[in-house]
């Protein structure tokens, strides 16, 4: 059974433990034979771990007034050529729908961190740029975030990190590959549905 350190959520502690799920899966597999138990546990453990890491980063970033989504969006714009990125490019980088990215941009603009500008190469297109306060914010929190991320991986040596990265990329490649439909046709990947 995998257990995690309790985390403080606004004054209350929440114990991040995978044990209740494992117990539930054991009961399901007894009632319904044929479950690929190891694969179900790996899949749920992946989601559970992502959620714990995301919660941890969000708690850290809250001190800077951002969360993991806004942080990534600001960093993508910061790292863009000439401080310009198209909303469609940002949508792809965030792996998020255009509708969600539009809402995110509205919020970033409201905070004074991002501005919309007409693209110099195509007047029908809008580009996003960081404002001076957006640049200052990124340069304030990003190095601290990197230190925090380093601390998350303290228990892993370089070989373990490389192995995990290779395995996650292998899973990502498989998930993104077109899957044959029941009638033999190819089903598009999840990104093609947006």
Scanning 32-131, the segments in alpha helix (DSSP H) are 37-62, 68-78, 87-94, 98-110
Write down the pLDDT at residue 1.
Answer: 35
Condensed to tens digits (0 to 9), the pLDDT of residues 85-133 reads 988 889 988 988 989 999 999 999 999 999 998 878 778 888 999 999 9
pLDDT category, 19, cuts 50, 70, 90? Answer: confident
Token digits of residue 76 = 């993508």
pTM here is: 0.76
Condensed to tens digits (0 to 9), the pLDDT of residues 145-176 reads 999 999 999 999 999 999 999 999 999 999 98
Q: Output phi, psi for 114, to 5 deg.
A: -135, 150
The DSSP code for 185 is: P
Q: How far apart are CA 7 and CA 11, in angstroms?
A: 9
Bridge partners, 180 (sequence order): 186
In sequence order, the 6+-apart residues with CB closer than 8 A to the CB of 145 are: 57, 60, 61, 71
Q: How far apart are CA 18 and CA 27, in angstroms?
A: 15
């Amino acid at each position: 059974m995998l257990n995690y350190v309790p985390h403080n959520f606004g004054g209350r502690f929440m114990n991040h433990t995978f044990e209740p799920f494992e117990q539930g899966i054991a009961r399901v597999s007894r009632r319904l034979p044929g479950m690929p138990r190891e694969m179900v546990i790996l899949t749920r453990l992946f989601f559970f771990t992502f959620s714990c890491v995301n919660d941890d980063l969000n708690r850290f970033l809250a001190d800077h007034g951002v969360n993991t989504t806004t942080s990534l969006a600001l960093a993508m714009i910061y790292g863009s050529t000439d401080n310009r990125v198209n909303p469609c490019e940002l949508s792809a980088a965030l792996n998020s729908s255009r509708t969600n990215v539009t809402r995110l941009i509205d919020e970033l603009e409201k905070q004074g961190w991002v501005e919309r500008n007409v693209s110099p190469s195509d007047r029908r297109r809008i580009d996003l740029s960081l404002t001076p306060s957006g640049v200052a914010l990124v340069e304030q929190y990003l190095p601290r975030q990197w230190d925090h991320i380093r601390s998350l991986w303290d228990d892993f040596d370089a070989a373990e990190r490389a192995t995990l990265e290779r395995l996650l990329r292998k899973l990502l490649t498989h998930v993104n590959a077109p899957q044959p439909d029941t009638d033999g046709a190819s089903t598009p990947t999840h990104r093609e549905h947006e």
